[in-house]
Structure 1
Amino acid sequence: MEPFDEAVRRYLRDRPQATVVALGEGLDTGFWRVDNGQLRWLTVEEPATAALRRMLLPDGPRWRTLTGRATGPQWPAAVARPALGVLVLVFGPPPAAGALRELRALCARRLPGAALLLEAPLRRRYRPSAHRGRRSR
């Protein structure tokens, strides 16, 4: 299961007709994994990736790929029904603090009430403690 799938499903339980905006998802196929038959999905990608995505995963009636930047002012206008819910997914390494502030401000200004979910890969794997002392009972 992909990192966001369960979070998207939880969001859609209360807002089944919401729009999911995937920023920087590349060739991920999240729409098809979480589709409930009602949601709308927008992918926002840089030009080269957007062109490749459209070629391999052509736009459909409830999903489409937009060319642009995550903090660009164009993509929020493509959310046709914001009152039904908007979940913004940010894929990849966490954006720099300035870019994240810019994205939050854009969402607050253009899509009030939208939920923002960041993929935050763990920097280190969990390792059991090296301490080999006596076990407590």
Structure 2
Amino acid sequence: VLPVLPTLPAAVRTAFDTAVTEAVEEAFDGRGDKRFHQLYDALVKEATDRQKAHEAERQRFGAEKEQLRQERDQEKDARQRLEAKVERLRQENDQLRRGTKRPREEMEGHHHQHQRQQQQQEGEADHEMKS
């Protein structure tokens, strides 16, 4: 009984003390033994139920904490990928400003312009051969 008592609310401890006193007094009459065991069993059950509820809540909090940790790690990974992409784009931008790299669109446009010139030259050569 003693290890359980500190975990109980003050009102329950007072009720327990009162009931124990009554049970002891009734024990002298021969009726208190059964009442004492009923009270003791009820108090042990209450403490056990409270402990189980506390453990269930602790496990729920632990699961929530783990889920939040995983979400934080996923967000951290996503942030690192975005930071790497921003850095790559910043470097490309710097290269474009210095003129050491041509924009992709310009390169593709230059390629298409070269193809058109080549086709035009081939067309002129064919036209000259036919004349």
TM (norm. structure 1) is 0.21
1 or 2 for the larger relative contact order (CA 8 Å, sep ≥6)? Answer: 1
TM (norm. structure 2) is 0.22
Larger fraction in helix: 2
Larger fraction in strand: 1
